[in-house]
Amino acid sequence: MKIKAVHSIKGVASSLNTLLINSVESGASIGFIAPLSLHAAHDYWQGVNTDLATPYRRLYLAMEDEQVIGSVQLSLCSKANGMHRGEVEKLMVHTDYQGQGIAKQLMNTLETDANAMGISLLVLDTRMGDIASTLYRKLNYIEAGSIPGFAKSSAGTFDATVYFYKQIGSR
């Protein structure tokens, strides 16, 4: 397994669709409601691909052979007063590969890259009580607060979200 930053989804779009659909079907709170259609997954990744052509989006992939088994994104702030911060988005690991430290490796790669770009603050949010919260705490992210009823789940309930941050590098 290897982790790499990519500037295009060319050659891995189908694998990314599979990862996204698997993640949504397994209950990941990443902005979609199950069931997620292949068409909706494709449209999402095409939008990400467009964003990758700008300096404000990075995509990191965990690859096993030629298959994407995990991914995470870094969204960079384009505002003059926020060039020092980035938002961690859509951390996913295919259910067949969970529990092997892949999410941690993806996050470590993202943080190393962000630090090299001069980013000193990372922020993210996740559903309250999600397994991801445990990972973020282990990676020294600090809980900043929560908002009740933030996102609708596939079950039709409204779940709270928890915001985390981590200061990296130097300012």
**One pLDDT digit (tens) per residue for the chain, 171 residues:** 999 999 999 999 999 999 999 999 999 999 999 999 999 999 999 999 999 999 999 999 999 999 999 999 999 999 999 999 999 999 999 999 999 999 999 999 999 999 999 999 999 999 999 999 999 999 999 999 999 999 999 888 999 999 999 999 865
Cβ–Cβ < 8 Å for 113, 88: no
What pLDDT shows up at residue 170?
Answer: 65
- The answer to whether 29 and 153 have CB atoms below 8 angstroms apart is yes
The listed CATH number (2.40.110.10, 1.20.120.420, 3.40.630.30, 3.10.105.10) that belongs to domain 2-167: 3.40.630.30
* 4, containing H or E segment: strand 2-6
What per-residue confidence (pLDDT) applies to 169?
A: 81
Q: Which residues of 24-40 are buried (b: 16+ CB within 10 A; e: fewer)?
A: beeebbbebeeebeeeb
pLDDT at 171: 58
